[in-house]
Structure 1
């Protein structure tokens, strides 16, 4: 069994290898912001920038990471939870080595010794081969199942929200049964084959394609949509966020989270600057993530302490992924991370200087996607063109994130035929 320190070091290495941004000790604030968003996109759990910095030793912290943090990091690198990650690799069992046959008497000629050995060797190899085939066929049985059911029901409106999954996989020969919360296979949890109910709590809104998995085969799936009641604001803590409802954050023609809002909930900006989000997750018709236009005006409104770079992001949520458009002050564009569906672009290896803005005024962002061909304009200047290959599905919502506080003045989608105005 690995020690916790060794396991955490190994987990950091795997994350660095996965994102491909080089040695984590050289990462800057924007890298941790981008990592936080990638972890959230893949696991559905938001780990704050300050928590990630503690994991990498950038910020001194005497307490051990919480179970939620460790489980989330483990899921990000492909394990069910931290306990599974810490398990040592299972030793591969091999067939018992063939013992050499006793040498014949010295009086035997070389030809006679070889002739005596061959029947034994051939016979032993034949028996070993047949045993291996039998063991493989006995272990790998084709999946068979009859009537299988899988449904879900949110127990409340708004957030947080517990979803009750009902399933019946008893009419199958499956050795293992899993419920996968969304398109992301890392959000797959093993359940009792003889059971019928599994409860899962969702703390953030989004679109989830829930799946029932027998062994490694998806046999049932359905949409699970956790929506907001209009606009919702959150302070994104590692476990349970702080919520700000529509009526509190809507101010005339804008939605925003202010320092006064955060102070009113006991959130301090002095010690650690939290990441906050403004969410709008509601049905938007048949808008495709591969063909749409989007325009918005937004502003980061906090620039002290850790928020000096004013890292800001626009996440266009889709049924099978997301698009992420980042912004920052001009001096921090090397820390940005842009992504469309599965394609990611790092500011460390690509010129993203056009995404640097002066937040003393509203920043205007326009994004046009035509058959997976992307063009992005910031303040009227074209700053990026590219393409992606994976279909992200339909657009199901919008999320902004800011360091500390921020505001959104307008947000609208169009598909060339209809226009959907969110703000």
Structure 2
């Protein structure tokens, strides 16, 4: 765990973990939530990195370790462990020099030894290599065929308590303790035993893709759909990830659809720190996310306490997956990311400089998707295009999330033939 922390510190750009401030942990929390899709509070990160001392070394659950390893540049936690079978000792050079984003941990020079001990060490190394090879090539992790994630009420209003269980075939002979549910809304993953019932509280409207994992491998996915009656607005604070705060039902006015800092503060959100406002409209549309045109005229938040990058995230919910675009000012593109079905591009590992855009004075975001190929433009300027493989399927809603106070002037969805699917706001 100490080793992966040093890798993360190198990618984070500040290898001196001991000098990190509370602001560093806040920033890393945001980066990990976007780049690795794991939600870790600053206090949890402090336990992981040793800032908060505990009686025993804090060791997070597997899904969290997988996310940390991915940000460190590895496929998952098992991949990281396989490539580091012997952790560096505290006195080694590797323990004191933080690695860069693409560097390997240097190993200390071996002391002079006689040939008999050398032969013994070589034999041991060969045995370890053979065991690793057999483990990952001859015996890959079991994926229980026929195992399904079942939800008795996958569709509901907002909020919604979904009831889950695992359905196994009669021939299943695996380890039933290895099943975990990833709920898809950023909340903590939970283990589930076959035959048991697990209820999860979804507190925001949208479409979420709950996944069943077995031994950290995906087995099944089902969508959980929280419908709305038109637009809803919800606020939440970066410092309080356990609660959301519904706002009065918004509508389009002369200045578009927005909320005021006073309205956000009245719900209980501290507007002197980083906060977010979600505008969501979920409904079933007669269109597919694989052949659609989205146009959104909007204005992002101006500079205010806790808001520097003036970000906006636009999500199109599909039947099977989603399109998601996080746009920020040019200086903040390290945090930007684009997701089109199974393809994800993160600014921490890819140069997304072309995607950097300042919308504090307003602008038009346009997404065109045709035959599973997406083109993104802002104010008529091409920013990014990419092809993907897995179909998104039928559209089920849109979400526009602002850091701070933003406004939406107009939103529309059209089919490639020009027929209107959805339109709201001023023209």
Pick the structure with greater CA Rg: 1
Task: Between 363-372 and 341-350, report the one with greater CA deviation.
Answer: 341-350
Q: Is the 8 A contact 1:149 1:168 kept in 2?
A: yes
Structure 1 392/38 Cα, relative in aligned 2: closer, same or farther at 3 Å?
farther
2:34 to 32, 37, 53: 37
Structure 1 10/416 Cα, relative in aligned 2: closer, same or farther at 3 Å?
same
**Residue 165 of structure 1 corresponds to which residue in structure 2?**
164
**Residue 401 of structure 1 corresponds to which residue in structure 2?**
401
C-alpha deviations, 1:277-334, integer Å up to 9, x for none? 222232223413x322111011113412331321222222334433332333455445
**Residue 281 of structure 1 corresponds to which residue in structure 2?**
282
**Residue 327 of structure 2 corresponds to which residue in structure 1?**
327
**Residue 266 of structure 1 corresponds to which residue in structure 2?**
268
User: Mind listing any 5+ residue stretches in structure 1 that lack a counterpart?
Assistant: 1-6, 65-69, 80-84, 93-139
What SS does the aligned partner of 1:303 have? Answer: coil
2: CA distance, partners of 1:346 / 1:78: 17
**Residue 295 of structure 1 corresponds to which residue in structure 2?**
295
1: CA distance, partners of 2:145 / 2:384: 49
C-alpha deviations, 1:4-57, integer Å up to 9, x for none? xxx5x556457679xxx5546699998865543345xx45x5x67x77997899
What SS does the aligned partner of 1:260 have? Answer: helix
Structure 1 75/249 Cα, relative in aligned 2: closer, same or farther at 3 Å?
farther
**Residue 312 of structure 1 corresponds to which residue in structure 2?**
312
State the 1:378 CA deviation.
0.9
Q: Is the 8 A contact 2:158 2:203 kept in 1?
A: no
State the 1:338 CA deviation.
3.2
State the 1:349 CA deviation.
4.8
Task: Please tell me whether residue 204 in structure 1 is matched to residue 201 in structure 2.
Answer: no
State the 1:416 CA deviation.
2.0
2: CA distance, partners of 1:287 / 1:144: 30
Structure 1 183/333 Cα, relative in aligned 2: closer, same or farther at 3 Å?
closer
Structure 1 28/259 Cα, relative in aligned 2: closer, same or farther at 3 Å?
same
Q: Equivalent residues in 2 for 1:245-264 (5 A)?
A: 245=247, 247-252=248-253, 254-264=256-266
Structure 1 56/395 Cα, relative in aligned 2: closer, same or farther at 3 Å?
farther
What SS does the aligned partner of 1:307 have? Answer: coil
1: CA distance, partners of 2:305 / 2:142: 59
User: Mind listing any 5+ residue stretches in structure 2 that lack a counterpart?
Assistant: 17-23, 55-59, 71-76, 86-140
What SS does the aligned partner of 2:264 have? Answer: helix
Structure 1 414/33 Cα, relative in aligned 2: closer, same or farther at 3 Å?
farther
**Residue 357 of structure 1 corresponds to which residue in structure 2?**
358
What SS does the aligned partner of 1:262 have? Answer: helix
Higher RCO (CA 8 Å, separation ≥ 6 residues): 1
What SS does the aligned partner of 1:240 have? Answer: strand
**Residue 76 of structure 1 corresponds to which residue in structure 2?**
67
Structure 1 224/263 Cα, relative in aligned 2: closer, same or farther at 3 Å?
closer
**Residue 106 of structure 1 corresponds to which residue in structure 2?**
none
State the 1:223 CA deviation.
3.9
1: CA distance, partners of 2:356 / 2:217: 42
Q: Is the 8 A contact 1:332 1:356 kept in 2?
A: no
C-alpha deviations, 1:378-418, integer Å up to 9, x for none? 11222323333443444332222222221112222222244
Q: Equivalent residues in 2 for 1:85-100 (5 A)?
A: none
Structure 1 31/209 Cα, relative in aligned 2: closer, same or farther at 3 Å?
closer
Q: Is the 8 A contact 2:326 2:338 kept in 1?
A: yes
What SS does the aligned partner of 1:411 have? Answer: strand
1: CA distance, partners of 2:304 / 2:369: 35
What SS does the aligned partner of 2:152 have? Answer: strand
Q: Is the 8 A contact 1:296 1:411 kept in 2?
A: yes
C-alpha RMSD of matched pairs (Å): 4.8
Structure 1 284/333 Cα, relative in aligned 2: closer, same or farther at 3 Å?
same
Structure 1 404/55 Cα, relative in aligned 2: closer, same or farther at 3 Å?
farther
